[in-house]
């Protein structure tokens, strides 16, 4: 017993020492994040035990903030499969230094997608029904997009777990155990198999959660597209926005740690990929909007523009295109890409383009009235929804910070020593 | 045998655990466990099973006497299925029968007045309750203060007649009815108007929202079906586009509160065709209201008025219907007379004046007769509340503290009196009651058709039985109550009889018209007209205690804890009110707030339509503290004949 | 799918006074939960909503009218009645909702995981989610129907045309020795309760049913809620249906007022 207390005391002393080692800014950030995390747990109990009545979702507005979180996280986490695919299958070795960080972000994004889903569905205790009573249609085609999403997400999450193992095994304590070191090494060599499997699965669930889930709702003018057009559009967006997000995370990590986390050519290479994919997405999304306006919405005897009213209307679409254009210009023109300021703006634009799209899909789509005599519906997330959302994100950031500090998430930074302060990722 | 080493032991143990876990998972047991957990955490109620049966009975709620079938599971009534019924309200009967806050035994107040909290009452036996109340009555009568005993009933029905008889036996003339259409007509015309709706071919309605709870809903719905088949014409005058107005063949969008003037205009047109009614003085007043003058006052076109008068005169079976509103009616005596005069002018066979036979005059003791002779008479309920006084008050199913515009005055007077409430649910008036006698819903009532379909709830008994039992303990009254039970009385009771002519009071008409024209002028201070609307099930407040009724309320009447009022778009623009904005409404009597404004062109310019039935202070937790009660600020001028306040039109301002 | 029945409904808005009896009968029959305050319409649990509609979008006082539209699940069937594809059924990840061979879109409370995807895909806002734990407190429990189970918190519930009454009627017929149980007809609670007989229920596939005959007779008065494809000519209709499914509801409304049909269009 005395021994145990000794260990605890030792641990507390260790945490205290670590804490004192943090800079003031990191401490403030941690305080804020811990505050949201506390709220997360308090409101989690409330939501799970007393029901979703505490949210501002309603029978007329059944999808809210958490679904946006799911869409956003999965979309942004899409950078993981794209990077893995480029690295392991296309053998773009320039991306090697960022793969650990990417896999970790992908893992966290998917993990928290599940966490948000636990709150979002009314009966989390019955969530396993999705695997026991799946709504498969004839053949291998799933009848319900959500069935497909759940299965793909489930399997892809397992793959991400496997992909993450080598990263975890590089923790200095685990790395010292020879067996684990070899497992980590060989897993790394086999990773292309998982990357291929992950890409296959991601391809489907990115499309179905981000796009297919919405475009098959044939009775809803705000979402419907024939031929699953949005499905494919969104896959492109996931590759474009996802890579931008992975880059942004690495960039921010470098800024916070004041290290050169990635070599310049890695940033360059991934940014170029993102820029190219955003160009493809621009074309796809333009085609999507034009088809919406001219072909699909008129089938409902409504106009596309009239669906873009309410609080989350036209301005969001315009904003999305501004962000897309920004990402393309700033990431593809070499001059802008090389300049750190514009590079930074470019990847932020990319991430924002993704976020705006997801916000628009859910917020505007749900707010469009179903009956001509009803108005657009407003949605004001309650404090419970905000805390669970922000608390979840805070936990994600803290986990990422832990990995960045205690595992060699950025091997490049370790091998190139410390360049305190003056190093810029893209100089 | 090799010695088992620690390492082997650990591996075997580990293997066993892993194997066991795998087996456990694949056996499906954890999933069953989750399912069980799902059920257990939900704690869902499973309705008790029982033998299914259908009880056939006749609905005794109104005089239509529809066939009714009650679906029973064991001894629980689970559904009312009426066949060929026009009645909406029977569907709600189970909500009252099994209401979670039903009074299950006689209650005696032990705490302070002004609340209906359970802690303020104690449950007593019927013997004790009847003994206490009769003792109080007897002592008042003995002290020659029998005239300070009063009774207020909701409807003109048999149990109300019993209460009248009891109050009168004590030597008091203060037995009143809430101002229902029948009660108002009784005072203004000397009887109620028995309309033959099913045979009418032209119905001219002066603000009577016939399809929204007006009169006997069952009769009206059956009539509607017949009108549709026969092609009868309905002309509706109203300042709000109600459902009745939209269902009508013609809607006369009059200015708020000008029904009486419209009636005068139509009478004027009929007069030109040589029709007359009401005598010389009356017709002299009619003569002044030419179509042009009426057109200016009502906002209609003179041609419209003439055409309607024309069609009304030419119809084979025309009837003109008075009684503005739905369940809550507010029409001045002048208006009731003027509309009835229209029927007389065209010789309508579909609007007959009738009087309920009643129980006959009770025999009074010499003391009682003397007191009754000397005491002041009041024209009606509001007159009594405002000017009268009482030491003991019976409230029979009524809720005057909530429904009367003098509710606050009544509450203050009830604070210092001995009040007995006879009701199934504790309403706003019960906040001041000393005793509560629990009464029944109609499905529990015995009737001439046979025994009650459903067993009476706990210790509740029929209001009529309660009054008879009480009267038999009151010395001055017991000889007037020789029935064994309420059903005993029902069996011997006769129907309604016709009554003589109407006394058309030209002076009241002239005064009313003058007062109305003054009210119609928008003042600087109060530029808007406040008029009431109703939802069928809510009525003027009785429906709000029922959870399933709450589910029928639309979002522009009451939503998310706020009452909505409707304002004409242009008027709202003029006053700077936007959709959904919170406003307060103020009249010369006071202010109510806050309510939300819904801008709609279904309301006349310069008018606000406010739903009745909200703003209860008690009446179960489902009704309490929802919205505001507009009666608090509504006009309170008392009509000389009906003794009721004419609250229909109130001049207000918004802020 | 071989359809045994195709239950449908017609509601005559000219006869509907908007009293709400249908909604109350529905709540009573289907064990609707009881809350202290059900005024929060967006979260209200009910199968039948009474919608108040006016034409004040297009008209000014006094050329306005109001009507009430009782709206329950419209029992959509998609383009092909022989192969019903309601918008809400294919989206359910756990097959908690399905369409039967009687054309009724069913929902199994105890299977539902509460993802609300079906609610999102429903163009008629006909589905309700139990945002709070459904309660039926105190003596209100006495009037609960044993034929309808009480849903859990966090599940979606909906109108099923009172299918359990059909089952009840068929059980009774079987007990009487009736062999062809599908020949049995029934009346849902809302239709049975309507005080003005504005609602008619029946089999759309049976040309002799009261409903089919009524709809045949009332070609000019009938319409369906926000289903504007009905106004197109046959050729356009076919072309449109080639591109996508349309809800094609089995609940019809009848009206002689053009403004109500006009209000079905978005402007």
- Find chain C residues with C-beta within 8 A of B86's C-beta: 195-196
Number of cross-chain residue pairs from B and C with Cβ atoms under 8 Å apart? 206
Evaluate whether A392 touches A112 at the Cβ level (below 8 Å): yes
Evaluate whether B558 touches B564 at the Cβ level (below 8 Å): yes
User: Which residue does chain C place closest to A365, by CA atoms?
Assistant: C120
Question: Residue A425: what pLDDT?
Answer: 39
DSSP B325: B
Tally of CB atoms within 10 A around C257: 15
- Find chain A residues with C-beta within 8 A of B31's C-beta: 128, 132
Here the tokens at position B511 are: 């005064």
- Find chain C residues with C-beta within 8 A of A58's C-beta: 42-43, 131
Burial of C198 by CB count in 10 Å (0-12 exposed, 13-18 middle, 19+ buried)? Answer: buried
Note whether A126 contacts B: Cβ–Cβ < 8 A.
yes
Q: Which of B26, B30, B34 has the most A C-beta neighbours within 10 Å, making it the best mutation to test the interface with A? A: B34
Report how far residue B307's alpha carbon sits from residue A29's, in angstroms, rounded to the nearest whole number: 79
Report how far residue A38's alpha carbon sits from residue A343's, in angstroms, rounded to the nearest whole number: 35
Report how far residue B346's alpha carbon sits from residue A258's, in angstroms, rounded to the nearest whole number: 99
Q: Is the pLDDT of residue C249 over 70?
A: yes
Average pLDDT over residues B362-385: 90
State pLDDT tens for residues B427-456. 999 999 999 999 998 888 877 667 777 888
Q: Is the pLDDT of residue A9 over 60?
A: yes
Exposure pattern of C229-256 as b/e (b: 16+ CB <10 Å)? beeeeeeeeeebbeebbbbbbbbbbbbe
More confident of the two residues B40 and A277 = A277
Note whether A299 contacts C: Cβ–Cβ < 8 A.
yes
Evaluate whether A326 touches A289 at the Cβ level (below 8 Å): no
Model confidence at B1, pLDDT cuts 50, 70, 90, reads low
Tally of CB atoms within 10 A around B329: 26
Question: Residue A424: what pLDDT?
Answer: 40
Q: Is the pLDDT of residue A421 over 50?
A: no
Question: Residue A419: what pLDDT?
Answer: 46
User: Which residue does chain B place closest to C146, by CA atoms?
Assistant: B47
DSSP A374: S
Question: Which of C87, C94, C156 is facing A133, going by the closest CB pair?
Answer: C94
Q: Is the pLDDT of residue B465 over 90?
A: yes
Question: Residue B502: what pLDDT?
Answer: 84
DSSP A226: G
State pLDDT tens for residues C153-167. 999 999 999 999 999
- Per the listing, tokens 């089938």 go with A299
Judge: C66–B602 Cβ closer than 8 Å, yes or no. yes
Exposure pattern of A373-396 as b/e (b: 16+ CB <10 Å)? beebbebebbebbebbbbbbbbbb
Question: Residue A427: what pLDDT?
Answer: 32
Q: Is the pLDDT of residue A136 over 50?
A: yes
First-residue to last-residue Cα distance in chain C = 38
Evaluate whether B174 touches B379 at the Cβ level (below 8 Å): no
Model confidence at A426, pLDDT cuts 50, 70, 90, reads very low
Note whether B34 contacts A: Cβ–Cβ < 8 A.
yes
Q: Which of B38, B554, B579 has the most A C-beta neighbours within 10 Å, making it the best mutation to test the interface with A? A: B38
Q: Which chains touch C (3 or more CB pairs under 8 A)?
A: A, B
Q: Which chains touch A (3 or more CB pairs under 8 A)?
A: B, C
Which residues of A, range 373-392, sit inside 8 Å of C by Cβ? 373, 377
Evaluate whether B337 touches B505 at the Cβ level (below 8 Å): yes
Angle separating helix axes B366-374 and B158-169, nearest 10 degrees: 100
State the average pLDDT for chain B.
91
Report how far residue C232's alpha carbon sits from residue C235's, in angstroms, rounded to the nearest whole number: 8
Angle separating helix axes A99-120 and A229-257, nearest 10 degrees: 120
Evaluate whether B643 touches B187 at the Cβ level (below 8 Å): yes
Q: Are strands B650-654 and C7-12 parallel, antiparallel or unpaired?
A: unpaired
- Find chain C residues with C-beta within 8 A of B535's C-beta: 20
Q: Measuring CA to CA, which residue among C102, C149, C103, C105 is closest to residue C124?
A: C105
The pLDDT > 70 percentage for chain A reads 96
Tally of CB atoms within 10 A around B490: 18
Tally of CB atoms within 10 A around C208: 9
Judge: C123–A122 Cβ closer than 8 Å, yes or no. no
C-alpha dihedral, A119 to A122 to A128 to A132, nearest 10° = -150
Distance of CA A66 to the CA centre of its chain: 13
Judge: A126–B35 Cβ closer than 8 Å, yes or no. yes
Model confidence at A415, pLDDT cuts 50, 70, 90, reads low
Q: Is the pLDDT of residue B473 over 80?
A: yes
Evaluate whether C61 touches B568 at the Cβ level (below 8 Å): yes
Model confidence at C137, pLDDT cuts 50, 70, 90, reads confident
A412/chain C closest Cα distance in angstroms? 43
Q: Say which range, A42-51, A208-217, B52-61, B252-261, has the weakest mean pLDDT.
A: B52-61
Question: Residue A423: what pLDDT?
Answer: 40
First-residue to last-residue Cα distance in chain B = 98
Model confidence at A161, pLDDT cuts 50, 70, 90, reads confident
Note whether A371 contacts C: Cβ–Cβ < 8 A.
yes
Judge: C125–A150 Cβ closer than 8 Å, yes or no. no
Judge: C113–A213 Cβ closer than 8 Å, yes or no. no
Q: Which of C36, C58, C69, C120 has the most A C-beta neighbours within 10 Å, making it the best mutation to test the interface with A? A: C120
Question: Which of C23, C29, C54 is facing B79, going by the closest CB pair?
Answer: C29
Note whether A45 contacts B: Cβ–Cβ < 8 A.
no
Q: How big is the CA angle at B601 (ends B598 and B607), to the nearest 5 degrees?
A: 75
Which residues of A, range 94-123, sit inside 8 Å of B by Cβ? 123
At B422 the three-state DSSP class reads strand
Question: Residue A422: what pLDDT?
Answer: 39
Question: Which of B79, B97, B228 is facing C15, going by the closest CB pair?
Answer: B228
State pLDDT tens for residues B252-293. 999 999 999 999 999 999 999 999 888 889 999 999 999 999
- Find chain C residues with C-beta within 8 A of A150's C-beta: 93
Q: Is the pLDDT of residue C121 over 80?
A: yes
Q: How big is the CA angle at B363 (ends B362 and B368), to the nearest 5 degrees?
A: 100
C53/chain A closest Cα distance in angstroms? 7
> B83 forms bridges with which residues in the sheet?
B67
Report how far residue C81's alpha carbon sits from residue C85's, in angstroms, rounded to the nearest whole number: 8
Sign of CA dihedral B156, B157, B161, B164: negative
Q: Which of C195, C218, C260 has the most B C-beta neighbours within 10 Å, making it the best mutation to test the interface with B? A: C195
Q: Is the pLDDT of residue B381 over 90?
A: yes
State pLDDT tens for residues C174-231. 999 988 888 899 999 999 999 999 999 999 999 999 999 999 999 999 999 999 999 9
Note whether A23 contacts C: Cβ–Cβ < 8 A.
no
- Find chain B residues with C-beta within 8 A of C39's C-beta: 550, 553, 558-561, 626
**CB contact set of B33 (below 8 Å; sequence gap of 6+):** none
Judge: C114–A137 Cβ closer than 8 Å, yes or no. no
State pLDDT tens for residues A296-332. 999 999 999 999 988 898 999 999 999 999 999 999 9
Evaluate whether A70 touches A118 at the Cβ level (below 8 Å): no
Q: Which of C19, C23, C108 has the most B C-beta neighbours within 10 Å, making it the best mutation to test the interface with B? A: C19
Note whether A41 contacts B: Cβ–Cβ < 8 A.
no
Evaluate whether A167 touches A139 at the Cβ level (below 8 Å): no
Report how far residue A53's alpha carbon sits from residue B336's, in angstroms, rounded to the nearest whole number: 50
Model confidence at A214, pLDDT cuts 50, 70, 90, reads very high
Rg over CA atoms, chain A: 22
Report how far residue B255's alpha carbon sits from residue B606's, in angstroms, rounded to the nearest whole number: 9
Average pLDDT over residues A40-50: 94
């Amino acid at each position: 017993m005395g021994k145990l207390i000794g260990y605890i005391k030792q641990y507390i002393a260790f945490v205290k020492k670590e804490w004192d080692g943090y800079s003031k800014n990191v401490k403030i950030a941690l305080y804020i994040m811990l505050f949201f995390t506390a709220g997360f747990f308090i409101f989690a109990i409330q939501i799970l035990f007393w029901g979703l009545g505490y949210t501002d979702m309603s029978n007329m507005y059944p999808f809210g903030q958490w679904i946006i979180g799911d869409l956003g996280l999965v979309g942004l986490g899409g950078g993981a499969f794209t990077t893995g695919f480029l690295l392991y299958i296309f053998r773009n070795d320039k991306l090697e230094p960022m793969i650990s960080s990417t896999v970790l972000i992908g893992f966290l994004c998917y993990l928290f997608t599940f966490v948000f889903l636990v709150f979002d569905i009314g009966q989390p205790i019955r969530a396993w029904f999705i695997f026991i009573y799946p709504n498969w249609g004839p053949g291998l085609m799933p009848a319900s997009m959500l069935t497909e999403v759940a299965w793909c997400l489930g399997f892809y999450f397992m793959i991400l777990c496997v992909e993450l193992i080598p990263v975890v095994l590089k923790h200095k304590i685990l790395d010292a155990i020879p067996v684990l070191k070899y497992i980590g090494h060989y897993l790394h060599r086999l990773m292309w198999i998982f990357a291929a499997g992950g890409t296959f699965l991601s391809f489907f669930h990115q499309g179905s959660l981000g796009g297919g889930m919405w475009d098959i709702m044939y009775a809803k003018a705000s979402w419907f597209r024939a031929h699953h057009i949005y499905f494919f559009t969104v896959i492109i967006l996931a590759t474009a926005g996802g890579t931008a997000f992975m880059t942004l995370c690495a960039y921010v990590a470098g800024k916070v740690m004041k290290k050169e986390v990635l070599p310049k050519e890695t940033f360059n290479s991934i940014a170029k990929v993102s820029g190219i994919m955003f160009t493809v997405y621009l074309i796809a999304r333009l085609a999507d909007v034009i088809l919406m306006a001219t072909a699909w919405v008129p089938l409902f005897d409504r106009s596309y523009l009239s669906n873009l009213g309410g609080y989350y209307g036209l301005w969001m679409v315009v904003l999305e295109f501004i962000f897309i254009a920004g990402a393309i210009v700033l990431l593809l023109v070499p001059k802008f890409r090389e300049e750190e300021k514009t590079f930074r703006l470019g990847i932020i634009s990319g991430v924002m383009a993704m976020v705006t799209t997801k916000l628009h899909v859910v917020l505007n789509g749900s707010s469009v009235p179903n009956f001509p005599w009803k108005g657009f519906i407003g949605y004001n997330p309650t404090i419970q929804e905000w805390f669970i959302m922000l608390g979840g994100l805070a936990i994600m950031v803290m986990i990422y910070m832990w990995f960045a500090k205690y595992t060699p998430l950025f091997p490049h930074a370790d091998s190139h020593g410390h360049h305190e302060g003056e190093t810029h990722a893209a100089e | 045998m090799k010695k088992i080493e620690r390492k082997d032991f650990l591996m075997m143990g580990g293997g066993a655990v892993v194997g066991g876990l795998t087996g456990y998972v694949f056996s499906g047991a954890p999933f069953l466990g989750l399912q069980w957990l799902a059920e257990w955490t939900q704690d869902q109620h499973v309705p008790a099973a029982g033998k299914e049966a259908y009880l056939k009975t006749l609905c005794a709620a109104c005089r239509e006497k529809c066939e009714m079938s009650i679906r029973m599971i064991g001894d629980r009534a689970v559904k009312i299925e009426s066949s060929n019924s026009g009645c909406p309200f029977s569907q709600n009967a189970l909500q009252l029968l099994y209401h979670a806050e039903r009074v299950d035994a006689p209650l005696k107040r032990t705490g302070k007045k002004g609340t209906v909290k359970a802690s303020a009452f104690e449950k007593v036996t019927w013997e004790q309750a009847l003994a206490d109340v009769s003792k109080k009555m007897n002592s008042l009568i003995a002290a020659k203060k029998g005239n300070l005993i009063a009774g207020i009933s909701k409807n003109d029905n048999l149990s109300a007649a019993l209460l009248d008889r009891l109050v009168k036996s004590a030597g008091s003339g203060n037995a009143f009815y809430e101002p229902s259409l029948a009660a108002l007509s009784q005072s203004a015309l000397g009887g109620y108007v028995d309309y033959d709706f099913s045979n009418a071919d032209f119905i001219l309605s002066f603000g009577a929202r016939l399809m929204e709870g007006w009169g006997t809903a069952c009769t009206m719905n059956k009539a509607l079906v017949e009108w549709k088949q026969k092609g009868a014409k309905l002309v509706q005058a109203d300042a709000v586009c109600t459902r009745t107005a939209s269902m009508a063949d013609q809607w006369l969008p009059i200015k708020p509160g000008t029904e009486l003037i419209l009636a005068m205009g139509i009478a004027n047109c009929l007069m030109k065709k040589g029709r007359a009614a009401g005598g010389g003085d009356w017709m002299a007043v009619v003569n002044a209201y030419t179509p042009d003058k009426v057109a200016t006052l009502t906002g209609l076109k003179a041609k419209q008025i003439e055409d309607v008068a024309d069609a009304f005169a030419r119809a084979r079976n025309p009837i003109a219907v008075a009684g503005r509103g739905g369940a809550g009616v507010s029409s001045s005596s002048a208006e009731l007379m003027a509309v009835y005069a229209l029927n007389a002018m065209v010789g309508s066979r579909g609007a007959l004046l009738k009087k309920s036979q009643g129980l006959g005059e009770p025999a009074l003791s010499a003391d009682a007769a003397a007191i009754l002779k000397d005491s002041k008479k009041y024209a009606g309920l509001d007159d009594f509340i405002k000017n009268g006084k009482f030491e003991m008050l019976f409230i029979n199913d009524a809720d005057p503290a909530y429904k009367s515009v003098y509710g606050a005055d009544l509450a203050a007077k009830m604070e210092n009196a001995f009040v007995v409430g006879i009701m199934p649910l504790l309403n706003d008036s019960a906040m001041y009651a000393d005793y509560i006698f629990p009464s029944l819903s109609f499905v529990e009532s015995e009737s001439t058709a046979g025994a009650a379909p459903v067993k009476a709830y706990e210790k509740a008994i029929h209001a009529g039985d309660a009054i008879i039992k009480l009267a038999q303990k009151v010395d001055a009254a017991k000889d007037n109550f020789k029935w064994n039970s309420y059903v005993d009385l029902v069996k011997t009771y006769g129907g309604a009889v016709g009554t003589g002519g109407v006394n058309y009071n030209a002076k009241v008409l002239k005064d009313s018209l003058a007062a109305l024209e003054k009210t119609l002028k928008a003042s600087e201070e109060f530029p808007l007209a406040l008029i009431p609307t109703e939802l069928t099930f809510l009525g003027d407040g009785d429906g709000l205690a029922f959870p399933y009724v709450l589910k029928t309320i639309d979002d522009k009447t009451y939503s998310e804890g706020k009452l909505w009022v409707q304002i004409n778009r242009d008027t709202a623009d003029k006053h700077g009110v936007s959709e959904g904005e919170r406003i307060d409404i103020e009249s010369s009597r006071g202010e109510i707030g806050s309510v939300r404004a819904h801008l709609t062109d279904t309301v006349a310019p310069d008018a606000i339509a406010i739903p009745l039935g909200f703003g209860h202070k008690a009446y179960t937790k489902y009704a309490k503290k929802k919205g505001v009660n507009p009666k608090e600020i509504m006009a309170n001028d008392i009509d000389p004949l009906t003794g009721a306040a004419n609250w229909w039109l109130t001049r207000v301002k918004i802020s | 799918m071989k359809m045994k029945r195709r239950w449908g409904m017609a509601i005559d808005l000219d006869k509907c006074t908007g009293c709400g009896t249908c909604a109350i009968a529905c709540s009573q029959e289907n064990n609707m939960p009881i809350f202290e305050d059900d005024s929060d319409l967006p979260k209200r649990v009910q199968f039948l909503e009474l919608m108040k509609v006016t034409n004040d979008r297009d008209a000014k006082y006094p050329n306005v009218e109001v009507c009430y539209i009782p709206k329950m699940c419209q029992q959509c069937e998609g383009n092909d009645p022989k192969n019903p594809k309601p918008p809400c059924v294919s989206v359910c990840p756990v097959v908690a909702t399905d369409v039967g061979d009687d054309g009724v879109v069913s929902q199994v409370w105890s299977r539902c995981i509460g993802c609300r995807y079906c609610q999102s895909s429903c163009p008629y806002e006909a589905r309700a989610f139990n945002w709070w734990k459904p309660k039926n407190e105190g003596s209100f429990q006495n009037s609960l129907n044993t034929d309808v189970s009480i849903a859990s918190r966090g599940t979606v519930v909906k109108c099923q045309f009172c299918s359990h009454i059909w089952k009840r009627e068929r059980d009774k017929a079987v007990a009487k020795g009736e062999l062809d149980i599908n020949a049995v007809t029934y009346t849902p609670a809302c239709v049975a309760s309507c005080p003005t007989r504005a609602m008619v229920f029946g089999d759309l596939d049976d040309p002799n049913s009261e409903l089919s005959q009524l709809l045949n007779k009332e070609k000019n008065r009938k319409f369906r809620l926000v289903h504007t494809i009905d106004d197109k000519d046959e050729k356009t209709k076919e072309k449109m249906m080639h591109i996508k499914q349309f809800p094609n509801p089995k609940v019809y409304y009848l009206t002689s007022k053009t403004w109500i049909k006009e209000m079905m269009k978005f402007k």
